[in-house]
Amino acid sequence: MPADWEVRAPHPELRSAITRYIGYTQRGVALRTHRGLPSRHVTLVISLAEPIRFTGMPRPDQSPGRFTAAVGGMHTAPALIAQDAFQSGIHVEIDPLAVPALFQVSAADLSGCVVELGELGPKHLAERLAEAPTWDDRFGILDDAFRGALADRRPAREVGWAWRRLTAAGGLIRVEDLAAEVGWSRRHFAERFRRELGLPPKQAARVLRFERAISRLREAPTDLATLAADCGFYDQAHLSNEWRALAGCTPRTWITEELPFLQDQGAATDADSQA
């Protein structure tokens, strides 16, 4: 499957809010359906080719649809995306704490949802990106579109600290301990966390453990029992149950169908990141 990848860090002023931009052009894509898995990021995917076709949504009360630029909130179930043979676009990884500044809605409003970027702003961004001749030009347009927004609203300091602590630990911290460390009651902490990020802290930790397991599999083959122990699951059965809930399939099905595609992508993006 011929593919071109361009990975770029955002402007320094944006690096607390946006992890990276990933530009891609793929030809001859054989995978019929891609599972968009839960992760620590709110994602923005902007198509430079045909609209993105979602055939299944993380929240069952949202109907599938087509999107030119899709903003996906944090979620605990997969998004199913039909794959065209030719695809080109930009994937933006966004810290959920930056959502209010970038999109003028809370991360809680986006939780589990997929929304067209034009409903949130900035307007006409997808059209401007499609007209830009190079990846450098496109990444520059994204930087310019996002830089002015971040000064307008900052998350609660305690929630920002707790989110960084939780992500650094891969989800392996008790909610009670985080609440105690910021000096809030568990109930107050959980509600403030949910309002700022879109998921309660227990569900966010669940996503982080799952994300850690995916990263381990992408790095090297690992038996499921060892993977469960290394990533904070009670046992292999717990890992398998969580995988079915979060990915919509068993671990072995995902390893067979999705892992080779992600390893090819990962090798390309890692190489670009080091350039």
112 contacts 237 by C-beta, under 8 angstroms:
no
- CA–CA gap between residue 138 and residue 269 (Å, rounded): 17
125-133 long-range contacts (CB < 8 A, ≥24 apart) are: 125/46, 125/69, 126/46, 126/47, 126/68, 126/69, 129/46, 129/48, 129/90, 130/48
193 contacts 204 by C-beta, under 8 angstroms:
yes
The token pair that represents 11 in the structure block = 């402007």
Share in percent of the chain as helix, strand, coil (round to 5): 50, 20, 30
pTM above 0.75, yes or no: yes
From 55-59, 124-128, 153-157, 181-185, the region with the lowest mean pLDDT: 153-157
**What pLDDT, in 10s, does the model give residues 80-127?**
999 999 999 999 999 999 999 899 899 999 999 999 999 997 778 889
pLDDT of residue 254: 92
**What pLDDT, in 10s, does the model give residues 184-232?**
999 999 999 999 999 999 999 999 999 999 999 988 888 999 999 999 9
Domains of the chain: 3-152 (2.60.120), 157-257 (1.10.10.60)
